[in-house]
Structure 1
Amino acid sequence: MHYASFVSPEGTPSWGIVEDAKVYDLGPGGLDLAPTLSDAVREGIFGTVSRDQFAAAPAVDEADVRFLPPVTKPEKIICIGVNYRSHQEETGKVEQKAPTVFTRFADTQMGHLAPALMPASTTQFDYEGEMALVISHDAWQVPKEEAFDYVAGYGAYNDFSVRDWQRNASQWIPGKNFPGTGAFGPYLVPASDIEDLDSMVLQTRVNGEVRQQAALGDLYFSIPELIEYVTGFTKLSAGDVIVTGTPGGVGLFMEPQGLLSEGDVVEVEITGLGVLRNTVQRSE
């Protein structure tokens, strides 16, 4: 099932299930199962709602809601850099001994169809199509053999990057934390709904042109390895997000460069997780 966080036509933030272009409200404006999708994850409700149950909820057309990031206020967003061999090769960062890790702040995120805000201070705005996972419950020093027990669900992510700010120094955080640059959504799909994670394909398109494409099985550090590594140094809580890395094909390393301009439409599609779409807008 496709779960989503959204703002209703009446302006009420809520969450629910999307099916056949209808949004069934399970939050405060509907069945009131939990205040937010994050609370639903924390309380063990996420992924357990039956079709008969959500069909009884009030519904509106998907086109009439404003999508929010599925998890609107995670305590931690941990991002992984250069985690596909194709991206390692184009960046020259090959044979890593451990994952490259940086943080993204929750207030930089936006949802499906929201504008991707290109800062006025840059001419190097880039896309990074990725898959994100959401943690199901408190996780600390999790062995990789148990890692999938800590995954609530998966969604598409676009880690829009301000390359000149990112490359000013060895730390990437400035280039990854401008407002309106962390696109997440449109849906969060329960891990229990995924039959073969490795065969799922991630594709990023700019104005319809395919720029990135890879199977999730091509991750250099696997999801269990990432969870083991990240929880080895920080405690994660229900609703926290790990963004797992981007394949080769980012605009910076194309010849000629394929960096983004105002008006470009960027889509990240992952098998079974939907299409995340954002249009680049120059911020003031």
Structure 2
Amino acid sequence: MKFVSYRSQTTIHLGILVENQILSLNRLYDLYKEQLPQDWSLPTDMKELIEQSEATLPYLESLLNCYEDSDQPSISLSEVEVLAPISNPEKIICVGLNYLDHCRETNMDPPSSPVIFSKYANTLIGNQASIELPINSNQVDFEAELAVVIGKEAKCISEEEAEDYIFGYTIMNDVSARDLQFADGQWSRGKSADTFAPIGPAIVTKEEVGNPHQLEITLRLNDELMQHSNTENLIFKIPYIVSFLSQSMTLKPGDIIATGTPPGVGMGRDPQVWLKEGDQLSITIERIGTLLNDVRTSNSTKTMHK
């Protein structure tokens, strides 16, 4: 299943994405709740859905099957605002330099262990929302990435156990202000400006994705292909990353782990390519979907230059 968060008028809802149509969980529940246990209630947000997923997913699959056998109406994506599928993760963890060709284009040696940094919740935006160029950078770059969404609490787990702790996968654009990233000597500020983590449009359950190491990944900038690779080229595979992180920190349901970007980023090109107002970005990952975002100058920047 593909789960989305969306805003209709002033209310935020959860839905299931089926062929570019949203099935409202509230609507499904109202229609078919008599077929569910009386003591079961619908999750109120994505984190709660993930936390309760072992018990909840079978019920949601039943609701979806009921819907598919009926002629009830769905919601077009164009009718609502699709939000970041999860807005309140405890942690957003990123892995740097995890494709060999990306290491080469940035003139960095392949790491002997995962390079880890963090983003914060202020960076999260959804599908078709705008990436804002910050006032203090003129070297903003793009990075298409497969992101893992943790499904249950994980501490000191093995690689063999890791898949049991994964809920699903989504797309992230690890937007980066390169001038800030390298000026500071560490990456937090350059990676954590407002809007610097577009994700979505959906979280896709691991069962639907299948093997996460056989997914084509592409990024287009204004319809020009910039990044094209396959997750089979990850240096550190997903079970290793999840296990590696769990040795140091307790992973919680809803935590997001971005697994690194393939070659083709703007910094590695000659001449270099930096995002500018009006740019259109499209990231597609096989079996997950397409994440669309445009780029605009922040209101603060416009005010400073008046």
TM-score (norm 1): 0.95
Identify the residue that residue 214 of structure 1 maps to in structure 2: 229
Helix, strand or coil at the partner of 1:212: strand
Structure 1: gaps spanning 5 or more residues: none
Identify the residue that residue 6 of structure 1 maps to in structure 2: 6
Spell out the pairing of 1:83-232 with structure 2 (5 A cutoff): 83-232=98-247
The whole-number CA distance in structure 1 between the counterparts of 2:26 and 2:173 is 26
- Paired residues of 1:78 and 1:242 also in contact (CA < 8 A): yes
The whole-number CA distance in structure 1 between the counterparts of 2:86 and 2:66 is 22
What is the percentage of aligned positions where both structures have the same residue? 32
- Structure 1, residues 40-92: CA drift from partner, whole Å, max 9, x if none? 11011564422224557873221111111111100011011111111111122
The whole-number CA distance in structure 2 between the counterparts of 1:103 and 1:266 is 23
Helix, strand or coil at the partner of 2:3: strand
**1:27 to 1:132, Cα distance in 2 relative to 1, 3 A:** farther
The whole-number CA distance in structure 1 between the counterparts of 2:197 and 2:189 is 13
**Displacement of 1:272:** 1.0
Identify the residue that residue 52 of structure 1 maps to in structure 2: 65
**Displacement of 1:179:** 0.6
Q: Name which of structure 1's ranges 31-40 and 203-212 shifts more when overlaid on structure 2.
A: 31-40
The whole-number CA distance in structure 2 between the counterparts of 1:113 and 1:120 is 22
Helix, strand or coil at the partner of 2:136: coil
Identify the residue that residue 24 of structure 1 maps to in structure 2: 23
**Displacement of 1:196:** 2.8
CA-based RMSD? 1.8
Spell out the pairing of 1:26-41 with structure 2 (5 A cutoff): 26-27=25-26, 31=30, 33-41=42-50
The whole-number CA distance in structure 2 between the counterparts of 1:58 and 1:170 is 53
Helix, strand or coil at the partner of 2:138: coil
For 1:131, the aligned partner's letter is: L
The whole-number CA distance in structure 2 between the counterparts of 1:242 and 1:28 is 31
| More helix, by proportion | 2
The whole-number CA distance in structure 2 between the counterparts of 1:53 and 1:134 is 27
**Displacement of 1:151:** 0.7
- Paired residues of 1:14 and 1:29 also in contact (CA < 8 A): no
The whole-number CA distance in structure 1 between the counterparts of 2:67 and 2:229 is 34
The whole-number CA distance in structure 2 between the counterparts of 1:2 and 1:114 is 19
| Larger-Rg structure | 2
The whole-number CA distance in structure 1 between the counterparts of 2:228 and 2:10 is 36
The whole-number CA distance in structure 2 between the counterparts of 1:46 and 1:162 is 40
The whole-number CA distance in structure 2 between the counterparts of 1:65 and 1:184 is 17
| Length, aligned pairs only | 283
Identify the residue that residue 252 of structure 2 maps to in structure 1: 237
- Paired residues of 1:17 and 1:26 also in contact (CA < 8 A): yes
Identify the residue that residue 33 of structure 2 maps to in structure 1: none
- Paired residues of 1:116 and 1:181 also in contact (CA < 8 A): yes
- Paired residues of 1:77 and 1:103 also in contact (CA < 8 A): yes
TM-score (norm 2): 0.88
Structure 2: gaps spanning 5 or more residues: 31-40, 300-306
The whole-number CA distance in structure 2 between the counterparts of 1:191 and 1:108 is 24
Helix, strand or coil at the partner of 1:73: coil
- Paired residues of 1:151 and 1:191 also in contact (CA < 8 A): yes
Q: Which of 287, 291, 295 lines up with 1:272 in the alignment?
A: 287
